[in-house]
């Protein structure tokens, strides 16, 4: 998930908050100058588009962020951890807790885990809360306390070259429009202990806008047959003869589903906004691609995941001030534009990440990008994915297996 926003901090404010830039003599060596700096260690959430399917794809981005931040804050040595897009540790509570206690000062987490690791976190009352998407403010708040600075958001979208399909307002209407396309109409990653329950929660939200989603997957009566039948109507449009790539292992790697849609092997794709980056890089045609929020239930009320910066409890005093300066830098419109528009990427294709700040949409190139304007409109009224009472249920896998079994039964029933 999921999915940097960078803010510029005035030199005067840095001098006031951090005691000014250390003076150095002309005879001071580079090593001595470095020793005079404070080190800020940060691990950014790595699951964002890169040019290659490996951690080396982020080398240029890390260098750009470090250089720009240190130019504005010469008394801080920013050390960004390697960004590995296969880093499962970002969903390992014990590993995250260990990082926050020792290895990192700031970690960017999926806030679905926030309530589970809140005991390891320092409160973080960022002064820029008014710029955050309302769902992002709720995502970083746990038991009335704020623990982070929102960065990226994610939601489920439908991508298709068929203009009629994106007019669907319910899952029934979407399935009907996809059924009219040549088979296979849909290619999408459906299974998985995180993905399938999140799709189910999105479907629930579509029928219960504004309702609390914490505990929905663990309540008696799960899974709801009506919601499963709706998802099944979509999954049937994935079928190719007697096989269904959306239910077998074909699309366990979502890149395969994106590439099939890019190659016009399927008529539609359901996934996060940043999926469009790979689709545009891989496609060979110039036909317009239409996008809408995925109606997975009785309506279309988007659900947003949020990634946020959090601090360990030992990051206080100067460390906390440096962390705030980095958060301000990372979430400013100028840096958000750099990352969103893919300035570090070889192909120059926007990442189509959803920013957690409203101001990110005002930067010139983002504001002039028609797709970003559509994404901002589609997610304006979105609700947050729960930040507690979900991790254990999902990680256990039992509920996801139960949901998948019932979904397969529903698909086969018709």
Are 399 and 393 in contact, with CB atoms under 8 Å apart?
yes
Q: Is residue 228 part of a domain?
A: yes
Q: Are residues 259 and 144 in the same domain?
A: no
Please give the backbone phi and psi of residue 108, each rounded to the nearest 5 degrees, phi first: -95, 120
In a domain, 403, yes or no: yes
pLDDT tens-digit series, residues 55-65: 667 999 999 99
CA distance 137 to 358: 12
pLDDT, greater one: 378 or 84? 378
pLDDT of residue 55: 60
Do residue 397 and residue 262 come from a single domain? yes
**In this structure, are 332 and 350 located in the same domain?**
yes
Whether 27 shows a pLDDT value over 60: the answer reads: no
Q: How far apart are CA 215 and CA 222, in angstroms?
A: 10
In this structure, are 105 and 30 located in the same domain?
Answer: yes
**Domain identity same for 137 and 50:** yes
CB 148 within 8 A of CB 140: yes
CA distance 203 to 158: 14
Domain containing 204 equals 157-301+385-413
pTM attached to this predicted model:
0.89
323 within some domain: yes
261: closest CA among 348, 337, 159? Answer: 159
Tally of structural domains, the chain: 2
Residue whose pair of structure tokens reads 């669907």 in the numeric block: 168
Same domain? For 177 and 227 the reply is yes
pLDDT at site 348: 86
User: How far is it, in rounded angstroms, from Cα 313 to Cα 371?
Assistant: 39
The DSSP line for 19-65 is --PPP--TT--HHHHHHTSEEEEEE----S--SSSSGGGGHHHHHHH
The answer on 170 and 69 residing in a single domain is no
Tokens of 273: 């906004």
Distance separating alpha carbons of residues 362 and 209, to the nearest angstrom: 28
- 217 burial type by CB count under 10 A (0-12 exposed, 13-18 middle, 19+ buried): buried
Whether residue 263 sits in one domain with residue 126: no
With a CB cutoff of 8 Å and minimum separation 6, the contacts of 80 are 42, 43, 44, 62, 65, 66
Q: Please state, in angstroms and rounded to a whole number, the distance separating the CA atoms of residues 338 and 95.
A: 30
Q: Is residue 405 domain-shared with residue 321, that is, in the same domain?
A: no
> Residue 223: enclosing H or E segment and its boundaries?
none
> Six-digit token pair at 31?
């090593």
What is the average per-residue pLDDT within 170-189?
97
208 and 271: one domain? yes
User: Which of helix, strand or coil describes residue 140?
Assistant: coil
Least confident residue range of 53-57, 293-297, 363-367 = 53-57
* 232-250 residue pLDDT tens: 999 999 999 899 999 998 9
Domain membership flag for residue 1:
no
CA distance 73 to 71: 6
Q: Are 156 and 205 in contact (CB under 8 A)?
A: no
Q: Are residues 368 and 403 in the same domain?
A: no
- Non-local (6+) Cβ contacts of 70 within 8 A are 76, 77, 78
Per-residue pLDDT for 26 more than 60?
A: no
Q: For position 29, what pLDDT does the model report?
A: 54
Residues 297 and 309 placed together within one structural domain of the fold: no
CATH assignment of the domain containing 231? 3.40.190.10
> Is 366 in contact with 336 (CB distance < 8 Å)?
yes
Could you identify the residue written with the tokens 């999921």?
A: 2
Q: CA 391, CA 370: separation in Å to the nearest integer?
A: 36
The verdict on residue 262 lying in a domain is yes
105-138 pLDDT tens trace = 999 999 999 999 999 999 999 999 999 999 999 9
């Amino acid at each position: 998930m999921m999915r940097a926003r960078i803010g510029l901090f005035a030199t005067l404010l840095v001098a006031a908050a951090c005691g000014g830039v250390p003076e150095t003599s002309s005879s001071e060596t580079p090593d001595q100058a470095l020793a005079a700096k404070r080190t800020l260690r940060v691990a950014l959430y790595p699951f964002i588009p890169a040019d290659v399917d490996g951690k080396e794809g982020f080398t240029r981005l890390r260098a750009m962020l470090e250089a720009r931040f240190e130019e504005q804050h010469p008394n801080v040595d920013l050390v960004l951890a390697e960004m590995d897009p296969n880093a499962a540790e970002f969903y390992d509570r014990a590993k995250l807790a260990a990082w926050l206690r020792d290895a990192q000062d700031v970690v960017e987490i999926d806030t679905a885990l926030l309530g589970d690791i809140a005991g390891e976190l320092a409160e973080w009352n960022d002064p820029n809360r008014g710029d955050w998407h309302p769902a992002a403010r709720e995502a970083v708040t746990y038991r009335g306390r704020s623990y982070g600075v929102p960065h990226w958001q994610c939601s489920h979208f439908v991508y298709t070259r068929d203009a009629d399909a994106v007019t669907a307002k319910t899952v029934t209407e979407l399935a009907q429009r996809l059924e009219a396309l040549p088979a296979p109409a849909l290619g999408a990653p459906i299974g998985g202990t995180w993905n399938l329950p999140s799709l189910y929660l999105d479907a629930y939200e579509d029928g219960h806008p504004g309702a609390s989603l914490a505990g929905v997957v663990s309540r008696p009566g799960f899974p709801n047959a009506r919601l499963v039948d709706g998802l099944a109507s979509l999954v049937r449009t994935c079928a190719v003869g007697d096989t269904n790539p959306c239910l077998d292992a074909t699309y366990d790697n979502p890149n395969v589903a994106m590439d099939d849609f890019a190659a016009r092997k399927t008529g539609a794709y359901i996934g996060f906004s940043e999926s469009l980056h790979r689709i545009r890089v891989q496609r060979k045609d110039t036909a317009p691609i239409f996008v809408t929020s995925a109606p997975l239930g009785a309506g279309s009320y988007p659900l947003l995941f949020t990634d946020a910066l959090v601090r360990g409890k030992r990051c206080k005093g100067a460390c906390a001030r440096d962390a705030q300066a980095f958060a301000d830098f990372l979430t400013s419109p100028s840096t958000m534009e750099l990352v969103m528009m893919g300035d570090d990427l070889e192909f120059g294709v926007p990442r189509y990440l959803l920013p957690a700040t409203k101001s990110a949409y005002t930067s010139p190139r983002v504001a002039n990008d028609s797709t970003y304007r559509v994404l901002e409109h589609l997610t304006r009224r979105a609700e947050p994915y729960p930040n507690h009472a979900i991790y254990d249920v999902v990680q256990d896998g039992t509920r996801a297996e139960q949901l998948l079994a019932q979904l397969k039964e529903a698909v086969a029933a018709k």
